[in-house]
Chain A
């Protein structure tokens, strides 16, 4: 079966701009979680969506938002970009989310803010 697909793979944005990242989960998976991966902090949880509803949110500012569509595809938006937002953004899909079933990760979107 097709894996988790994230687009685009790479992005370069300027401070102050906004960006939208996309994640297509494995067919049949209703949970999509987003993580920010940086060398110093590892994987930090951003939020999780299940059946179009945000079910959990991490400790990130309101500039980070997301949504999930009826086909379970999810988007993540970051507004007013800052240099510190440069990171690899990973999404993970699973049947039930929260670690209840195995999480399958995408290859990530590498965001660079200049």
Chain B
């Protein structure tokens, strides 16, 4: 079974401070990992995926297979980063097709 854990439901940081949103996963195979973001009154949307190794809106995330983690980081948080962040894993489930499984989410608030 595949599982994604986001230990922090709420996270508050001050503008300009570094931010790290934690994500741990459980999966026996080779996972594909993603971060999705939901801004207030907007749809859930893809922020980044580990295979692209991109920095989106200043955010980066590194897959650490040894620690089974995919933490999202940004060196200097901005107020517009306030949103709900979901970590997600794509893996083979009980069937033969890949399934996208989400964590429970972390609500990030960036204080002025």
Contacts and interface: CB of A to CB of B under 8 A. Distances in A.
A45 B100 contact: yes
Interface stretch (A11-19, A62-70, A92-100): A92-100
Contacts of B100: 33, 45, 92, 97-99, 103
In which size bucket is the chain B interface? 20 to 34
Q: Name B's interface SS.
A: strand
Nearest to B43: A105
B66 interface: no
Q: Name A's interface SS.
A: strand
The 7 tightest CB contacts between A and B, nearest first, are A99-B90, A98-B98, A42-B104, A43-B102, A99-B100, A105-B44, A55-B97
26 contacts: A33-B100, A40-B104, A41-B104, A42-B103, A43-B86, A43-B102, A43-B105, A44-B102, A45-B102, A55-B95, A56-B93, A56-B99, A92-B44, A98-B98, A98-B100, A99-B89, A99-B90, A99-B99, A100-B98, A102-B49, A103-B36, A103-B46, A104-B43, A105-B43, A106-B43, A107-B43
